[in-house]
Structure 1
Amino acid sequence: MSRTQTAWWETRWFAVAAILLSCVPLLAPGLPPLADLPGHIGRYHIAAALRGSADLQQHWTFEWGLVGNLGVDLIVQLLSPILTAEHATKLVVILIPPLWVSGLILLARRAGGTLSPAAGFAFPLVYGYAFQLGFVNFMLAGGLALHALLLWVALAHRPVVRALLFLPIAFVLWIAHSFGWGMFGLLAFAAEWVRLREAGHGHRESLARAIGWCLPLAWPAALMVGAAPGDGALWDWKAKVSWLPSLLRERWKWYDVGCAILLFGLLWAAVRDRRLRFDPLTGTAALLCLIAFVALPRLIVGGAYVDMRMLAPAVALALVAIRVQPGHARFEASLAIAGTSFFVLRMATSSIAFLLFAGTQQAALEAVSHIPRGTTVLVLVNEACSSQWHSDRLGHIAGIAVARRDAFENGQWALADQQLLRPRHPQAEPYRADPSQLVYPASCEYKTTHFGEAVQGFDRGTFRYVWTLDFPAKPALADDVVLVWANNVSALYAVR
């Protein structure tokens, strides 16, 4: 059985519906409940308001410079005259899933002429683990990279013009996030290699020419000369294997792992089933991203989870690369129905999960109104082990106290080649910056802050309040640290 008319999943209305549906889970929560995002919001607020706030000036320094991690930072800064850091951040974050979904749709159509019937399976991967952790600069850069690839492919027969045009585009992608820029380099090389092979060039010639035409994209690497390399030996193979079931890690382990198994099973079926094939362009791009996932270490230049970030893009590109051989129209339609159903299901459950996360976060944030403006707060969060699937995402919630109260808290990042923010109060060490706010159970693989030692040993000259999250409230933590307010999530103590 074959089809002669445009299938419903290839129509414009389906594309528009998919793009709009992708942002639904983010609409209701006042604060997008992504793990690291509240901490980022605190930094955005400092960058925008530091000059006009004496309170912020006594707690922080911020000097703009060239680092490959400024995508959302710069957009929020541009919006700061009309929107608060919280509102601007929500606006930008809501646009990231549609950016990815539209990029996947347009790229699949550009590569294969039509949209893959399996595309619905790919769309929920924008809510993969990197997004759940709040790596919004990388996610923004990755979405931009998909759209940049469309332009790269469109200009394939004007290589000189393309090379000149992509000099600034490469810089924009690098500024958004260096790993997103690196991902685009892989995508562009894949597209160029496939084009040359389809034009009849041999393997070696195609490889050499593809490298040559992609060289103009590499110049932002010069901006990273002198950066601290990080612990390049951390190829954590146990962690790398754990990223596979964590592909769609969100809230319910059995459900998320089951969905990941379904996607990997579909890809395996596409390899084995003669009715299915992979589009060369998107399939090769997916393969290169998968190789990068295997080859990259966990830490590079201060960035963490580097390898994990490449997994969801690799799987998403592989899924939109799936094509059904002619003569199997009924099977093709069934695959499209299954993919669309999967997409709708994941958006529904993500919406529920985000509302639950947001409820816990809002309960925790009730403490913020009891924090005096401009004060200093030692934050201690009862953080779950990374092996525990569910987390209440409170590890960086204190960043909202920075945004709303111009406070100082000890959970901001201050890595030299990743952030431009620096905390003052050197006497507050070792409770001055991330991850000193995180208190893991003794059984965890991570060892950061010990609750009892922190309460007894923090600098009383620096911190005027202690804010505990997900610990039982007590009348006092110490003789000079007494309870002033509490609910079932947060407890705020004053230092007398």
Structure 2
Amino acid sequence: MLSLLCFALVAIPVVTHPLPPLSDYVNHLARMQIIAEGARDPDLARYYSLEWAVIPNLMMDLLVPIIDRVTNVYVAGEIYTLACFALILFGTQLLHRALFGQWSVVPLLAAPLLYNGIFLIGVMNYVFGIGLALVALSCWVLLRASPWRYLVSLLFVGALFFCHLVSVGVYGMGLLAFEIMRLMQTRGAPLRPRLIAFVAAGLPFALVVPLLLKSPTWGLSGENYWEPRGKIDGLEFVINVYFDHVAFALTAIVVAGALWAARHRQLRIHPFLLPLLCVGGVVYLAMPRTVFATYMADQRLPVALAFMVLAAFQVDLHHRLVRHGFVLVLLAAVLVRVAEVQIMWDRLTTWTTAFEQSVSKIDRGARVLVVYADPRSGRDATDLGLVHAACLAIIEKSALVPTVFTVAGKQIMRVRPPYRDFVDTEDGFPPTLEQFLLTADAPSPDTPRYWDLWPEHFDYVYLLFTEPDEMNPDPDRLTPVYDGGRFQLYKVRQPQPPS
């Protein structure tokens, strides 16, 4: 019953906001619309095509269009998001059950962490993969004495591959930590069979090699770089969402409860925790920021590992006082986090609603360029909902939006020629206002850009991260259509042919 209550509480922001202010979410949702409706919509079919391939970023593409058959794409996205939440909560509880041999409500402390800095980015395939990795590790622990664990692990590795490569890595780190613990616990046994069992645990991961070689993602294998800055940010993503003081309050509540339980000998820590922290720490510090052109690859790890860490704690809840105290701490943490997210999403929905109103003024099948008025914006959590908001025009107006994800090896979606030259195929940033204005009459001097000679190729322009009542940047070529405060929509005046 407490599990259902916690899930119901964390579901409130998702259920009450069909279009949550997450960075990549609406971009992914636009792709779901194209997968589901592209063959029946002439405008979508004119602009977009699908090239199905073995890509480690497909789980949402496989599930959401199926859900969309019985509802609309917004509700399908909500159902998928809630399924991610449920899978993570269940996976954390199942891992705790596998480690300690009994079910407990202690892992429900994972509920406040469902809203985290990585979730705000909207990397929905990876979020699903976190839950699946937890279930996979749980099954490995539960089947530790059975030879069937290798087949089950192989199946999970295959499924995790289609969630995200980092999801496979998360499962691998958890399994490695568990096997290190087993190796240490059986020090009195003969070394040879122990080492054979230790090495054999990694055999199912060999499946990743042929899958990668078969995948166009292998073409991105050279796009890796390590960055020291941001490692602390990755840790903060676990607990910090919008307000620092909320993160501090949640941390204080949980730490105070844990210290009280430890002082009264009610707290038990599984030996799995130490190797997990060691493996996780080493991998996190060594992992590049970008892997296979996937940005924030290292910063995604702490959030996933946090759920494994929670599963390694047990509190003796037999005493009535301890039991009631834990429930109080749990509900306080969940309510504080849900209130934080709900308040902020209600506030940010003002922009979302305004954006929906602006999209209604766009002609169906139009071509819509996105420009940043302030290139420094888009990184703060309160700005994330605007980063890809223009993709809403794909869902509502079957428009061509150049910032939709179409990178070969990362997504299955492509833009058809002759429109391919007018979209971003490298996961770059939209043009700044200065770049936009300089390329109205002439192409970029250094290298061709998809926004070159934009008056000839686009019908509308979204100017994002503007100040209220900002002036029209090019009155000769742009007609104001909608001013949303933090964004503006303009209609492009098509250039007159020479007489």
> Shorter-chain-normalised TM-score: which range?
0.7 to 0.9
1:35 paired with 2:47, answer: no
Q: How far apart are residue 105 of structure 1 and its match?
A: 1.5
**Structure 1 CA distance for aligned equivalents of residues 136 and 269 of structure 2:** 22
| Candidates 484, 487, 493, aligned match of 1:487 | 484
Q: Secondary structure at the match of 1:483?
A: strand
Q: Are the structure 2 counterparts of residues 66 and 117 from structure 1 closer, same or farther at C-alpha, using a change threshold of 3 Å?
A: closer
1:155 paired with 2:143, answer: yes
| Candidates 397, 406, 430, aligned match of 1:405 | 397
| Conserved 8 A contact 2:47-2:419 | no
| Candidates 100, 104, 108, aligned match of 1:112 | 100
Q: Secondary structure at the match of 1:245?
A: helix
- TM-score (ref. length: structure 2): 0.83
**Structure 1 CA distance for aligned equivalents of residues 121 and 284 of structure 2:** 18
Q: How far apart are residue 74 of structure 1 and its match?
A: 0.7
**Structure 2 CA distance for aligned equivalents of residues 414 and 136 of structure 1:** 16
Q: Are the structure 2 counterparts of residues 62 and 266 from structure 1 closer, same or farther at C-alpha, using a change threshold of 3 Å?
A: farther
Could you list the runs of 5+ residues in structure 2 that have no partner in the other structure?
Answer: 442-451, 494-499
**Structure 1 CA distance for aligned equivalents of residues 351 and 168 of structure 2:** 35
Quick check: 204-213 or 328-337, which moved more?
A: 328-337
Q: Are the structure 2 counterparts of residues 294 and 268 from structure 1 closer, same or farther at C-alpha, using a change threshold of 3 Å?
A: farther
Q: Are the structure 2 counterparts of residues 392 and 155 from structure 1 closer, same or farther at C-alpha, using a change threshold of 3 Å?
A: closer
**Structure 1 CA distance for aligned equivalents of residues 378 and 267 of structure 2:** 37
Q: How far apart are residue 142 of structure 1 and its match?
A: 1.2
- TM-score (ref. length: structure 1): 0.84
**Structure 2 CA distance for aligned equivalents of residues 165 and 495 of structure 1:** 56
Indicate the residue corresponding to 2:241 in structure 1. 250
Indicate the residue corresponding to 1:414 in structure 2. 406
| Candidates 168, 178, 197, aligned match of 1:181 | 168
Aligned pairs (5 A) from 1:77-476:
77-114=65-102, 119-159=107-147, 161-195=148-182, 197-199=184-186, 201=189, 206=194, 208-225=196-213, 226-232=218-224, 234-256=225-247, 259=250, 276-281=267-272, 284-324=275-315, 334=325, 337-381=328-372, 382=374, 384-385=376-377, 388=380, 390-424=382-416, 432-433=424-425, 434-437=427-430, 439=432, 450-453=435-438, 457-471=452-466, 472-474=469-471
The one-letter amino acid paired with 1:467 is Y
**Structure 1 CA distance for aligned equivalents of residues 431 and 257 of structure 2:** 38
Q: Secondary structure at the match of 2:96?
A: helix
| Conserved 8 A contact 1:380-1:451 | yes
| Conserved 8 A contact 2:95-2:134 | yes
**Structure 2 CA distance for aligned equivalents of residues 264 and 423 of structure 1:** 50
Q: Secondary structure at the match of 1:227?
A: helix
Quick check: 257-266 or 304-313, which moved more?
A: 257-266
**Structure 2 CA distance for aligned equivalents of residues 267 and 419 of structure 1:** 43
- Give the CA RMSD over aligned residues: 3.4
Quick check: 367-376 or 485-494, which moved more?
A: 485-494
Q: Secondary structure at the match of 2:462?
A: strand
Q: How far apart are residue 15 of structure 1 and its match?
A: 2.6
The one-letter amino acid paired with 1:322 is F
| Conserved 8 A contact 1:149-1:187 | yes
Q: Are the structure 2 counterparts of residues 275 and 393 from structure 1 closer, same or farther at C-alpha, using a change threshold of 3 Å?
A: same
**Structure 1 CA distance for aligned equivalents of residues 328 and 190 of structure 2:** 40
| Conserved 8 A contact 1:99-1:143 | yes
| Candidates 474, 477, 489, aligned match of 1:477 | 474
The one-letter amino acid paired with 2:388 is H
Q: How far apart are residue 384 of structure 1 and its match?
A: 4.7
Give CA deviations for 1:25-55 in whole Å, capped at 9, x if unaligned. 2110121322110111111112222222321
Q: How far apart are residue 326 of structure 1 and its match?
A: 11
**Structure 1 CA distance for aligned equivalents of residues 437 and 248 of structure 2:** 36
| Conserved 8 A contact 1:486-1:492 | yes
Q: Are the structure 2 counterparts of residues 423 and 281 from structure 1 closer, same or farther at C-alpha, using a change threshold of 3 Å?
A: same
Give CA deviations for 1:302-351 in whole Å, capped at 9, x if unaligned. 11111111111222322332345899986686456434422221122222
Q: How far apart are residue 286 of structure 1 and its match?
A: 5.0
**Structure 1 CA distance for aligned equivalents of residues 237 and 201 of structure 2:** 36
**Structure 1 CA distance for aligned equivalents of residues 273 and 95 of structure 2:** 8
Q: How far apart are residue 438 of structure 1 and its match?
A: 6.3
| Conserved 8 A contact 2:95-2:308 | no
Q: Are the structure 2 counterparts of residues 409 and 476 from structure 1 closer, same or farther at C-alpha, using a change threshold of 3 Å?
A: same
Give CA deviations for 1:250-302 in whole Å, capped at 9, x if unaligned. 22244335645776898899999987442123554454334322221110001
Q: Secondary structure at the match of 1:409?
A: coil
Quick check: 381-390 or 288-297, which moved more?
A: 381-390
| Candidates 34, 55, 59, aligned match of 2:47 | 59
Q: How far apart are residue 478 of structure 1 and its match?
A: 3.9
Q: Are the structure 2 counterparts of residues 314 and 267 from structure 1 closer, same or farther at C-alpha, using a change threshold of 3 Å?
A: farther
Q: Secondary structure at the match of 1:110?
A: helix
The one-letter amino acid paired with 2:172 is G
Indicate the residue corresponding to 2:497 in structure 1. none
Quick check: 405-414 or 120-129, which moved more?
A: 120-129
The one-letter amino acid paired with 1:84 is N
Could you list the runs of 5+ residues in structure 1 that have no partner in the other structure?
Answer: 1-12, 441-448
**Structure 2 CA distance for aligned equivalents of residues 56 and 341 of structure 1:** 47
Alignment size in residue pairs: 474
**Structure 2 CA distance for aligned equivalents of residues 430 and 315 of structure 1:** 41
Q: Are the structure 2 counterparts of residues 428 and 103 from structure 1 closer, same or farther at C-alpha, using a change threshold of 3 Å?
A: closer
